[in-house]
Amino acid sequence: MKPTVTVLDYGSGNVRSAVRALERAGAEVTLSAKAADVLEADGLVVPGVGAYETVMNELRQVDALRMIGRRVAGGRPVLAICVGLQILFDAGVEHGKRTQGMGEWPGTVEQLPAEVLPHMGWNTVEAPAESVLFDGVAGERFYFVHSYAVQAWDFDVTQPKMRAPLVTWSEHGSRFIAAVENGPLSATQFHPEKSGDAGARLLSNWVGALPKKTGPRKTGQSNIKTEVR
């Protein structure tokens, strides 16, 4: 039985390519912001394109921040992409304005100190050896489109048995966080759905790690179709 994945539909662009890429990765995909679809799927993908403040406001309008928080608190897998990664940090600063984020991880999203912005194109990453997402593709290039990023990581593990998040880095003007793997919560600054074979392998790694269902689905949850508007 294929794992079910919901791509959060809150007004962000580029969702069609994400839906198709996840289907090719072996998931049964629905595009939705309905609570049942978001909370009950095996995996949730949070895309993000545009300004930090705008994405936060759009997520609030569909109650997505609460639903994402519920999934993370319950150990349910979430994969966030591009600005989806950025809003998981403490805050974002764009054009001198600071916008509060979800605060799942410490750090502030700020403009990259690069001569050419946006950072648009293919770039390599530095992934930790234990990474699940980058298994088999740690040395490959991925596709980035962004001008802002988190350029420092200061995560204090206060509980001895707690595993520190795995952080992947890249560089454009300065080193910046390209991906984070933190238990059920994973995120990439780049677009895996636009990153060719390497991105396809990364999505397959994530889909393949989703909890497997046992037994039949509940009535009304079979034959979930991709709903693209």
Contacts of 52 by beta carbon, 8 Å cutoff, 6+ apart:
83, 86, 87, 92, 94, 99, 101, 109, 148
Upstream peptide bond of 118 is cis (omega within 30 degrees of 0): yes
Give the pLDDT confidence score for residue 155 in this predicted structure: 80
Q: Does residue 228 surpass a pLDDT of 90?
A: no
Query: Has domain 4-208 been given CATH number 3.40.50.880?
Result: yes
Instruction: Tell me what the mean pLDDT of segment 94-121 comes to.
Output: 97
Q: Does residue 225 surpass a pLDDT of 70?
A: no
Contacts of 141 by beta carbon, 8 Å cutoff, 6+ apart:
122, 123, 124, 195, 198
Give the pLDDT confidence score for residue 198 in this predicted structure: 98
Beta-strand pair 89-94/97-100: antiparallel
Phi, psi of 64, rounded to the nearest 5 degrees: -75, -30
Percent above pLDDT 70 for the chain: 90
- The CA distance from 69 to 120, in Å, is 30
Helix axes 64-73, 52-61, angle to 10 degrees: 80
Q: Does residue 202 surpass a pLDDT of 90?
A: yes
Residues with catalytic function? 82, 191, 193
With cut-offs at 50, 70 and 90, classify the pLDDT of residue 13.
confident
Structure tokens at 113: 């100190």
Q: Which residue has the tokens 């390519």?
A: 17
Instruction: Tell me what the mean pLDDT of segment 58-67 comes to.
Output: 97
Domain-by-domain residue ranges, the chain?
A: 4-208
- The CA distance from 210 to 41, in Å, is 10
Q: Does residue 6 surpass a pLDDT of 90?
A: yes
Give the pLDDT confidence score for residue 226 in this predicted structure: 40
Residue pLDDT, tens place only, 146-196 = 999 999 998 876 655 567 899 999 999 999 999 999 999 999 999 999 999
| Mean residue pLDDT across the chain | 91
With cut-offs at 50, 70 and 90, classify the pLDDT of residue 46.
very high
